[in-house]
Structure 1
């Protein structure tokens, strides 16, 4: 039994029927991108007509599969920008969405068309609206949806603004990660409705958020219910890790083993909440990876830091430039996480206020961790 079949076997009857009627492979394009460390981009192009076995193995696996690099541009660095989502995670998201017969759903990020097909198979196409920012991706999804005789309402546009013509929705479901929940999503959700979206910080793209909208003029509250990493909404992609600025560099030893900065997803998630705007990257010299492997950090606003993994106690292990001492902030954030009892990400939640302000809290809204409005 392949990975996809195992996922179906564990579904309840209503969703099992939808997954059987709209199998993921039906919505995957003939060209996929498979991870390959031997390629400069880290991905190898696989054509269904030339390598059918490889294509089918990817299509039937319980894993995400990349369907576009670099927003479709040729000659780019090889950054995944569209994919077919992991079946078990899609099942989790749909379970958290908790749709009922008669519900209307806005599906943000059509992508391959698969999740909108599942929703249409479960609720009926007239109950589902799906929106995609990339017109080429949207056109491919439309062809596959029509071939499958599943017909959700379709729109091309930036899903961060929702889709007002179909509002209000009982449920809003996003297949792309956000750093700030769009105010439009809350405004376009019916009172008592649910928003399910991947959510993250520049430091850790890690949480699956389930929000309940209480209606106009009231806060929306929700918890992070699962570890989930999705591609970013285009307008909310974090900045890259830039080179150090022109300020005076300060060198020193690290107060902690740099491995602890990304010890596990829960530590990284908590650290990301405490170090706003900070993006990590890893660098090494291929000729001497053990001696030069390091984590670099940038806030995109002139502050930069680097910490070496080996010999991190030495006086030259850490370099920091700019108004913020980013490595110091990372170490303090991890210490805070330890002091709180090393909470898992599911102990955190988020509140969206009517004016769009947003804060993350630990265990309850009264224990605010930080403002993440952006």
Structure 2
């Protein structure tokens, strides 16, 4: 991101990014990142590790936004770091090699002529996911050299570049709906000489022209699996995506396997984090209720349900579907669950067996009842998903028997979306 120029047609183009920090410094930063991921247990020996060591993140992520204002401040205050500028270099280099998400695009803007410094307003429309999530996804896919690979919603292309490095030239395809981001990602792939193709299009439709694929990875969260993705999965193939609900609190990771004989099996498990949902998806938020929860006493009562731990992923995933409309405020001092649409909430005290509730909906009573059902079902951590229904309804169950937890995933046609 050196001084931008215009081409012969008057289109704004950024000059090729400067080398930035010295080669030895960036190489050391990558090595430290890999060592940190290994020490934390996220990264294992194999092709993903080698790709992380080989790919220069300073080329993949030449700039980054950092948020300056705190939660709830509107308009949001940002600062754009330019990796080629000496005053930004250290902060930028630390950020792109950290475990944090890297914010790349605001309000769908072109990415060729951004100016470093303060920026006011807008919301992030593309980012590079935090590295442990990227590593987990690619390792779960068991990606190898020679695999045909499809990535859906690659954003700036960090995970796509890693995957394409593993598979080898000519085997990796990505579909990105944002024209600015698709062009940016393709230029990065070309600059690195990876030999991967970024196609502008609707990721929900996959990319039939180069199907079938042995590995499919979605960088966007979806409420159910688009039929095209399953149809484009090769025999012996594997597909990985995030399933999203109205709440960002309890995402699910769905792994789909097609056997060499063509049988499709899908397994859903709760995860601490997931990918952002498809464009326009309306997430619930507890932010607007935060001040009222502190000010309004509510009604205190006893409860036998000790607040379930954060890593009880199987329970919280079920809550996202079977107690819909809830969202957790993870910044609260004690467990706080809000039903924004019902102006209701519950605040649980982990020490004295009491819960404070407010509003027409008894949020905690719903969680108590669901927790009892979850225990009766054997405290499931994973759920089977049936993708074979001719009508397109995808059914989820914890297992056989009358005590199993079960629900149906919403269809794409019913997704609460807004215009871009």
| Preserved CA contact (<8 Å) 1:258 1:309 | no
Provide, for residues 108-151 of structure 1, a one-character-per-residue CA deviation record: whole Å limited to 9, x for no partner: 11211111111221112311110112222222212222211123
Greater mean deviation of Cα atoms: 179-188 or 228-237:
228-237
Counterpart in 1 of 2:317? 269
Counterpart in 2 of 1:351? 386
SS for the counterpart of 1:222 is strand
Give yes or no for the alignment of 1:146 onto 2:146. no
Instruction: Please state how far the C-alpha of 1:269 moved relative to its aligned partner.
Output: 1.9
Instruction: Please state how far the C-alpha of 1:31 moved relative to its aligned partner.
Output: 2.7
C-alpha distance in structure 2 between counterparts of 1:342 and 1:326, whole Å: 21
Which is bigger in relative contact order (C-alpha 8 A, separation at least 6)? 1
Provide, for residues 215-261 of structure 1, a one-character-per-residue CA deviation record: whole Å limited to 9, x for no partner: 999654224385432211225444567999xxxxxx96666499837
C-alpha distance in structure 1 between counterparts of 2:186 and 2:306, whole Å: 45
| Preserved CA contact (<8 Å) 1:358 1:372 | yes
Provide, for residues 196-232 of structure 1, a one-character-per-residue CA deviation record: whole Å limited to 9, x for no partner: 1122332334332211135999654224385432211
TM-score when scaled to structure 1?
A: 0.77
Give yes or no for the alignment of 1:233 onto 2:233. no
Distance 1:147 1:365, change over 3 A: farther
Counterpart in 1 of 2:374? 337
Counterpart in 2 of 1:371? 408
| Preserved CA contact (<8 Å) 1:47 1:55 | yes
Counterpart in 1 of 2:358? 318
Unpaired runs of 5+ residues, structure 2, are 1-30, 111-118, 290-297, 412-420
Counterpart in 2 of 1:260? 307
Counterpart in 2 of 1:248? none
Partner of residue 81 from structure 2, selected from 42, 47, 51: 47
SS for the counterpart of 1:260 is coil
Partner of residue 137 from structure 1, selected from 147, 170, 181: 181
Larger Rg: 2
C-alpha distance in structure 1 between counterparts of 2:367 and 2:225, whole Å: 24
RMSD: 4.0
Instruction: Please state how far the C-alpha of 1:75 moved relative to its aligned partner.
Output: 6.0
SS for the counterpart of 2:251 is strand
C-alpha distance in structure 2 between counterparts of 1:160 and 1:138, whole Å: 15
Instruction: Please state how far the C-alpha of 1:62 moved relative to its aligned partner.
Output: 2.6
| Preserved CA contact (<8 Å) 2:107 2:122 | yes
Counterpart in 1 of 2:113? none
Counterpart in 2 of 1:67? 104
Counterpart in 2 of 1:124? 168
| Preserved CA contact (<8 Å) 1:125 1:153 | no
| Preserved CA contact (<8 Å) 1:70 1:81 | yes
Give yes or no for the alignment of 1:19 onto 2:52. yes
Provide, for residues 145-166 of structure 1, a one-character-per-residue CA deviation record: whole Å limited to 9, x for no partner: 2211123121112211211222
Counterpart in 2 of 1:224? 269
| Preserved CA contact (<8 Å) 1:198 1:209 | yes
Counterpart in 2 of 1:94? 138
Equivalenced residues, count: 352
Unpaired runs of 5+ residues, structure 1, are 245-250
Instruction: Please state how far the C-alpha of 1:25 moved relative to its aligned partner.
Output: 3.4
Distance 1:357 1:133, change over 3 A: same
Give yes or no for the alignment of 1:361 onto 2:401. no
SS for the counterpart of 1:125 is coil
Distance 1:258 1:190, change over 3 A: same
Distance 1:294 1:193, change over 3 A: closer
| Preserved CA contact (<8 Å) 2:77 2:121 | no
C-alpha distance in structure 2 between counterparts of 1:118 and 1:239, whole Å: 32
C-alpha distance in structure 2 between counterparts of 1:350 and 1:236, whole Å: 22
C-alpha distance in structure 2 between counterparts of 1:262 and 1:363, whole Å: 23
Give yes or no for the alignment of 1:165 onto 2:209. yes
Instruction: Please state how far the C-alpha of 1:76 moved relative to its aligned partner.
Output: 4.8
| Preserved CA contact (<8 Å) 2:34 2:49 | no
C-alpha distance in structure 1 between counterparts of 2:202 and 2:393, whole Å: 21
Counterpart in 2 of 1:2? 32
Instruction: Please state how far the C-alpha of 1:362 moved relative to its aligned partner.
Output: 2.1
Counterpart in 1 of 2:255? 210
C-alpha distance in structure 2 between counterparts of 1:258 and 1:54, whole Å: 44
SS for the counterpart of 1:177 is strand
Partner of residue 32 from structure 1, selected from 65, 78, 83: 65
